[in-house]
């Protein structure tokens, strides 16, 4: 069985478990067995993935047939996030990453308006959980300072899309922009689209300590399996599949941080230091945490590729770049 099949099988088992969670609440042995099965699936998948070349097309077939309900669940889960990152990476590899001069958001040139709708725009879309504490209406921190310049109701979307550009756009002619929109079916998730690259930290007059790069082009399909950020275990408060998917994605970080906090990054100290926690209720949920731990805490010595989502914040504070 290939890695993807194992992952999908594991997802099915997890979904089954989710649906029966209420019934099995008083059956720890059964719960434990189910978790073991799921762990076994993901562990097997991880083993195969670790031994495979990242660009092995067999890992992620273009059209994997799955049942609709599972697919729907996956749409909001870690697998899809991984796919998003991978696809984004692939599409970016196909284009000239250098965007200097292109799509410059020079506000004085009206003829360039809406240029971001062009297909060749340097775009990367990721999904990020809303801050659990503080103002959950704010998009997640990403180490850059943004100025909101617009908000728009989007057809077919429940929530408006907010438009941000780099605070230093004028000062450093930085073309970076981002769009933030809540997911229709998950109020606690943002879809963040980054457009253009930051040039503000490259300017000779820019702050000497540059913030980490914007969510970069991820080359490693395993990126999603790396720890993201430390934070409390965040189980879903509802039984919706989408929520579980979201929560599972958050579990990545939990397991990562709890596994000895080895470096690499991911340390989420940043968010924690900033007094921000992502996700929802901080309730213990050990069984699935174990599962996620088995899924993502491989003990891999690779560096934390998820820094792009929750990068180190030390730089930021040191640079004193936070002016929001």
Partner DNA sequence: GGCATTTGACCTAA
Partner DNA sequence: TTAGGTCAAATGCC
- Check residue 144 for interaction with DNA (CB under 7 A): no
Report if residue 158 touches DNA, rule: CB under 7 A: no
Reference 295, options 246, 252, 265, 253; nearest CA is: 252
The CB-of-114 to DNA minimum distance in angstroms stands at 4
Residues of 268-300 as b/e, b for ≥16 C-beta within 10 angstroms? bbbbbebebbbbbeeeebebbbbbbbbbbbbeb
DSSP code of 250?
H
68-75 vs 3-24: helix axis angle to the nearest 10?
90
Looking at the Cβ atoms of 145 and 300, the one nearer to DNA is 145
Of the pair 22, 156, the CB lying nearest DNA is at 156
Min dist. Cβ of residue 276 to DNA (A): 15
Least separation in angstroms between CB 193 and DNA: 8
46 binds DNA (CB under 7 A): no
Between residues 21 and 274, which has the closer beta carbon with respect to DNA? 274
Tokens of residue 37, six digits: 């099965």
101 scored as a contact of DNA (CB under 7 A): no
Which residues have CB under 8 Å from 236's CB, separation 6+? 243, 244, 246, 247, 280
Q: Is 135 in the site for DNA (CB under 7 A)?
A: no
Verify binding: residue 204, DNA, rule CB under 7 A: no
Cβ of residue 151: shortest distance to DNA, in angstroms? 4
CB of 173 to DNA, least distance (A): 13
How far is CA 8 from its chain centroid?
A: 20
Q: Is 111 in the site for DNA (CB under 7 A)?
A: yes
The H or E element containing residue 123 is: strand 123-129
Please tell me whether residue 113 binds DNA under the rule CB under 7 A: yes
Task: Please report whether residue 263 would count as binding DNA according to CB under 7 A.
Answer: no
Tell whether residue 150 is a contact of DNA (CB under 7 A). Answer: yes
Question: Comparing C-alpha atoms, which of 151, 134, 205 is closest to residue 174?
Answer: 205
Per CB under 7 A, the list member of 105, 225, 230, 298 interacting with DNA is 105
Contacts of DNA in 178-197 (CB under 7 A): 179, 195
Residues in the interface with DNA (CB under 7 A) total 35
Contact 132, 283 (CB under 8 A): no
**SS3 of 266-318:** CCCHHHHHCCCCECCCCCCCHHHHHHHHHHHCCCCCCCCHHHHCCCCCHHHHH
Strand partners, 182: 190
Among 20, 161, 262, 322, binds DNA (CB under 7 A): 161
Contact residues for DNA, defined by CB under 7 A: 105-108, 110-111, 113-119, 145-156, 161-163, 165, 167, 177, 179, 195, 323-324
């Amino acid at each position: 069985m290939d890695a993807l099949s194992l992952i999908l099988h594991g997802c099915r088992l997890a979904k089954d478990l989710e649906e029966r969670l209420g019934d099995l609440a008083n059956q720890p042995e059964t719960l434990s067995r189910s978790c073991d099965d799921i762990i076994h699936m993901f562990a097997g998948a991880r083993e195969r993935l670790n031994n495979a070349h990242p660009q092995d097309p067999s890992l992620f077939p273009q059209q994997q047939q799955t049942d609709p309900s599972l697919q729907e669940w996956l749409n909001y889960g870690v697998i899809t996030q991984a796919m998003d990152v991978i696809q984004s990476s692939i599409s970016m590899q196909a284009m000239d990453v250098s965007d200097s001069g292109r799509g410059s958001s020079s506000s004085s040139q009206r003829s360039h308006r809406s240029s971001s709708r062009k297909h060749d725009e340097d775009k990367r879309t990721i999904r990020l959980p809303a801050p659990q504490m503080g103002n959950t209406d704010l998009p997640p921190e990403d180490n850059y300072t943004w100025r909101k310049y617009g908000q728009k109701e989007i057809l077919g979307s429940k929530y408006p899309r907010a438009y941000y550009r780099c605070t230093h756009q004028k000062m450093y002619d930085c073309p970076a922009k981002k769009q933030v929109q809540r997911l229709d079916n998950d109020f606690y998730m943002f879809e963040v689209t980054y457009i253009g690259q930051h040039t503000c930290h490259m300017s000779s007059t820019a702050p000497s300590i540059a913030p980490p790069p914007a969510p970069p082009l991820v080359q490693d399909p395993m990126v999603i399996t790396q720890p993201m950020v430390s934070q409390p275990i965040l189980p879903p408060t509802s039984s919706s599949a989408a929520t579980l998917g979201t929560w599972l994605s958050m579990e990545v970080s939990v397991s990562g941080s709890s596994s000895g906090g080895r470096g690499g990054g991911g340390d989420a100290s940043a968010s924690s230091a900033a007094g921000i926690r992502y996700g929802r209720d901080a309730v213990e949920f050990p069984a699935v945490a174990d599962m996620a731990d088995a899924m993502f805490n491989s003990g891999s010595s690779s560096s934390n590729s998820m820094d792009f989502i929750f990068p180190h914040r030390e730089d930021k504070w040191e640079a004193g770049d936070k002016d929001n």
